[in-house]
A and B are shown apart, each in its own frame.
Chain A
Amino acid sequence: MTDKLRVGVIGAGRWAGFAHLPGWKRSPLVDLVAVCDVDREKAEARAKEFSIPDVETDYQKLLSRRDIDVIDIVTSGDNHEPLTFDTLNAGKHCLVEKPVCHDYRDVWRAHALATSKGLKTKVGLTFRYAPAMQYMYSLIEDGFIGEPYIFNGWEQNSQWIDPAAPSRFMRQDTGDAPIKVGSLEGYGAPTIDISLWLIQSKVTSVVGILKNFVPKRLNPDGNWVRTNVDDGDVYIGEYANGAICSMQSSYVTVGNYPGIEARVFGSKGALICRLVEEFGECQTLKSATPDAVEFVPVEVPASYFPHGYKKGESWRSQFYANLVHNFAKEITDGGEANQGNFAQSARVQEIINAVERSYRERRWVDLPLDGGVGD
Chain B
Amino acid sequence: MLCDLDRDLAKARAQQFGIPEIETDYEQVLRRGDIDVVDIVTRGKDRGENHQELTFAALDAGKHVLCEKPVCHDYRDIRRAHELAASKGLKTKVGLTFRYAPAVMYMQALIAEGFVGQPFIFNGFEQNYQWINPDTPMDKRAHKDRSEGGEIKGHDSRPEAIQVLSLEGYGAPVIDIGLMSVGSGLERVVGTLKNMIPYRRRTNLDTERERINVDDADIFIGECENGAAFSVQSSYVTVGNYPGIEARIYGSEGALICRLVDEFGECETLHGATPAAVEFVRMPIPERFFPPGIGPGEPWPSLFYGNLVHNFMQELIDGNDANQGNFAQSASVQEVINAVALSHRERRWVDLPLPRGD
A-side residues, CB < 8 A to B, are 147, 149-150, 152, 156-158, 161-162, 207-209, 211, 213-214, 232-236, 238, 242, 244-246, 248, 250, 252-256, 265-267, 269-270, 277-279, 288-290, 293-295, 362-364
A294 to B273, CA, bound (A): 25
Q: Can you report 17 A-B residue pairs in the complex whose CB atoms are below 8 A from each other?
A: A149-B194, A149-B217, A208-B221, A209-B229, A234-B121, A236-B231, A242-B194, A246-B221, A254-B251, A254-B254, A254-B278, A255-B250, A266-B239, A267-B196, A294-B241, A294-B262, A295-B240
A254 to B220, CA, bound (A): 23
Interface contact B191-A236, CB-CB below 8 Å: yes
Contact with A246, one of B128, B219, B264, B347 (Cβ below 8 angstroms): B219
* Chain B residues, CB < 8 A from A209: 221, 223, 229
Interface contact B279-A278, CB-CB below 8 Å: yes
* Chain A residues, CB < 8 A from B252: 161, 213-214, 252
Interface contact B220-A265, CB-CB below 8 Å: no
1/0 per residue B155-167: CB within 8 Å of A? Answer: 0000000000000
* Chain B residues, CB < 8 A from A265: 127, 235, 238-240
Interface contact B275-A295, CB-CB below 8 Å: no
A294 to B266, CA, bound (A): 11
Interface contact A290-B255, CB-CB below 8 Å: no
Whether A248 touches B280, Cβ cut-off 8 Å, given contacts A161-B275, A213-B227, A255-B255, is: no
User: Assuming A162-B275, A244-B219, what are 18 further A-B pairs, CB within 8 angstroms?
Assistant: A149-B196, A149-B217, A150-B238, A161-B252, A208-B221, A211-B227, A213-B118, A213-B252, A232-B121, A233-B229, A236-B219, A248-B231, A253-B255, A267-B237, A278-B279, A279-B279, A288-B239, A293-B241
Whether A270 touches B239, Cβ cut-off 8 Å, given contacts A152-B233, A211-B227, A244-B194, is: yes
Whether A211 touches B194, Cβ cut-off 8 Å, given contacts A246-B219, A277-B279, A295-B263, is: no
* Chain B residues, CB < 8 A from A152: 233
Count residues of chain B with CB under 8 A from any CB of chain A.
Answer: 47
Residue B199 CB within 8 A of the other chain: no
Contact with A290, one of B132, B235, B254 (Cβ below 8 angstroms): B132
* Chain A residues, CB < 8 A from B263: 294-295
Of all chain B residues, the one with the shortest Cβ separation from A154 is: B123
| Chain B 237-260 interface residues, beta-carbon cutoff 8 Å to A | 237-241, 250-252, 254-255
Instruction: Say whether chain B's binding surface is mostly helix, strand, loop, or mixed.
Output: strand
Residue B289 CB within 8 A of the other chain: no
Of all chain A residues, the one with the shortest Cβ separation from B222 is: A209
Residue in A248, A269, A279 whose Cβ sees the most chain B Cβ within 10 Å: A248
1/0 per residue B326-340: CB within 8 Å of A? Answer: 000000000000000
- Interchain nearest-CB distance for B231 vs A (Å): 5
A22 to B252, CA, bound (A): 36
- Interchain nearest-CB distance for B104 vs A (Å): 19
Interface contact B231-A234, CB-CB below 8 Å: yes
A265 to B221, CA, bound (A): 19
* Chain A residues, CB < 8 A from B132: 267, 290
- Interchain nearest-CB distance for B300 vs A (Å): 14
A289 to B240, CA, bound (A): 8
Residue B305 CB within 8 A of the other chain: no
Contact with A207, one of B196, B221, B235 (Cβ below 8 angstroms): B221
Of all chain A residues, the one with the shortest Cβ separation from B237 is: A149
Identify the 5 closest CB pairs spanning chains A and B, nearest first: A270-B239, A254-B255, A253-B250, A265-B238, A294-B263
A211 to B220, CA, bound (A): 16
Of all chain A residues, the one with the shortest Cβ separation from B253 is: A254
A290 to B273, CA, bound (A): 32
* Chain B residues, CB < 8 A from A238: 192
Interface contact B240-A244, CB-CB below 8 Å: no
A211 to B262, CA, bound (A): 34
Interface contact B278-A256, CB-CB below 8 Å: yes
A125 to B191, CA, bound (A): 29
Whether A150 touches B235, Cβ cut-off 8 Å, given contacts A211-B229, A234-B121, A362-B349, is: yes
Of all chain A residues, the one with the shortest Cβ separation from B242 is: A293
* Chain B residues, CB < 8 A from A208: 221
* Chain A residues, CB < 8 A from B275: 158, 161-162, 254
